[in-house]
Chains A and B, each alone.
Chain A
């Protein structure tokens, strides 16, 4: 990307652009969200931008997977460290998403709404919320 010029983007910039686009879309969704479940979905979109970025950072041209079962060790392989990072983060991220959705269920139960706009932390809930 050091040769990045606005006129002619090299095709190799595509992964970074995809990551940036995903992150931007997710961020826009978070900022304009009117529903907590939608908010959690947008957060996972942002998260997947980091996966694209990490996997793009680890890619080596003309290289195979970092699993030396059917090709011997020493053949070119992509970076396993970023893949390990992404792998654990997908699983932990799924659990964290479940936690956020559980919080959303509790908010709905106690406040009767999931609109972040209508949620005021310090205001007592309306009596009709239960």
Chain B
């Protein structure tokens, strides 16, 4: 199908959908005056009920916790899929040489690059940790903190090169972080069930409002999500950066699934 035909097909589909879309669009609430009551109810009740200051975290890790468990599973599945698709295609050697185009000169890294990357990788890791830890009180939480921490790994790669980076970032640790975080989340959700309570019921002491420990079980769930997200994105980085190596001696055969 040429792009012209595809566009024609799209126009036809849009024509069919247009009445429904228009009808919904014309009933959108005015900007700045939402009609949904759920969010405002959460704002009014959750600080009292859960002793947390960050309502987004309260929604994510408590009120909508089961939904977040589903999202967590999606993250796990997506990362597992990407890992399975990429792993082993260039050999399993940990410290293979970085690939390069023949004929293109390799400029050695400047010392300043290495230094700046080491400093900022550490700082990025610290910021990620801080954002994750303060998830209950200030904007932040496990999702953001985990991604920030994992992006510090990319700075390490920039500074150390492939071999040095690979020695610093062992994939089994990342896998354990990812799986362990998800398992911790499942345990947080499932253990109350065993005791005859609803899933994810907040049985821990709720702590002080605006304190680092506030929200009871949410602190644990937040930590689980932070570990899992950091592990997931670190693993994705490992798998994608493996693609920059020289192809190994033992590429897997693609013949059997043809």
Contact = CB atoms under 8 A, between A and B. Distances in A.
Q: Do A and B bind?
A: yes
Interface of A: 1-2, 4, 12-16, 20, 27-28, 31-32, 34, 56-61, 65-69, 73-74, 77-84, 87-92, 94-96, 98-99, 101-103, 105-106, 109-110, 117, 124-125, 130
Interface residues of B, number: 63
B78 A12 contact: no
Contact of A103 (B43, B54, B85, B254): B85
Given A2-B27, A95-B79, A81 B143 contact: no
Interface string B5-43: 011011000000000000001111111111010111011
27 contacts: A1-B25, A1-B26, A1-B30, A1-B31, A15-B31, A31-B7, A60-B34, A66-B39, A66-B43, A69-B210, A80-B39, A80-B55, A83-B56, A84-B56, A89-B71, A92-B78, A95-B233, A96-B74, A98-B79, A99-B78, A102-B82, A102-B85, A102-B239, A105-B243, A106-B85, A106-B86, A117-B2
A79 B78 contact: no
Contact of A99 (B2, B9, B82, B137): B82
A117 B40 CA distance: 48
B43 A80 contact: yes
B14 to A, nearest CB: 9
A79 B229 CA distance: 25
Interface in B197-241: 210, 229, 232-233, 236, 239-240
Nearest to B42: A80
B132 interface: no
Main secondary structure of the interface of A (DSSP, over half): helix
A88 B68 CA distance: 8
Contacts of A94: 147, 233
Contacts of A27: 10
B93 to A, nearest CB: 19
B105 to A, nearest CB: 26
B39 A82 contact: yes
Interface string B72-103: 00110011011001100100000000000000
B56 A68 contact: no
Contacts of A101: 82, 240
Contact of A57 (B27, B29, B243, B254): B29
B138 interface: yes
B82 A32 contact: no
Contacts of A16: 25, 28, 31
B216 to A, nearest CB: 17
| Nearest 4 CB-CB pairings of A with B | A79-B39, A61-B32, A80-B55, A66-B55
B47 interface: yes
Nearest to A125: B258
- For B30, B53, B56, the residue with the greatest tally of chain A CB atoms inside 10 Å of its CB is B56
B172 interface: no
A87 B143 contact: yes
Contacts of A73: 43-44, 47-48
Contacts of A92: 71, 74-75, 78
Given A60-B33, A99-B81, A80 B56 contact: yes
Contacts of B47: 68, 73
B139 interface: yes
